[in-house]
């Protein structure tokens, strides 16, 4: 397989540092990425998995002259659901 699985270990997508709140934070600044004066805006809302989408969408947004506004908080699902914790055998 190319690249090898070992080479992929460090291949991780993350949102830019200023674009997200950590678990203990209750607020953070909202930053626009891409073309700040754009007529079109993409808003990305979610948890840390959103970092994958920013890395993929930012080059396309820059090429199209759009801006991206990420609203992200690590470990915070953007939906109201009960998550089962198998290690604890409870929600």
Q: What does the pLDDT look like over 7-36, one tens digit per residue?
A: 777 666 666 666 677 777 777 788 888 888
Predicted local distance difference test score (pLDDT) of residue 17: 62
pLDDT class for 67, splitting at 50, 70, 90? very high
pTM: 0.64
Using CB atoms within 10 Å of the CB of residue 59, give its burial: 0 to 12 exposed, 13 to 18 middle, 19+ buried: exposed
Between the CA of residue 91 and those of 20, 48, 57, 60, 81, what are the distances in Å? Answer: 26, 21, 34, 39, 10
- Give the sign of the dihedral formed by CA 24, CA 31, CA 19, CA 43: positive
């Amino acid at each position: 397989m190319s690249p090898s699985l070992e080479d992929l270990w460090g291949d991780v997508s993350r949102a830019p540092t200023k674009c997200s709140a950590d678990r203990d934070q209750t607020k953070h600044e909202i930053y626009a990425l891409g073309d700040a004066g754009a007529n079109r805006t993409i808003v990305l809302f979610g948890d840390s998995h959103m970092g994958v989408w920013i890395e993929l969408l930012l080059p396309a947004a820059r090429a199209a002259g759009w801006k991206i506004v990420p609203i992200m908080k690590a470990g915070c699902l953007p939906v109201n659901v009960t998550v089962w914790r198998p290690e604890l055998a409870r929600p």
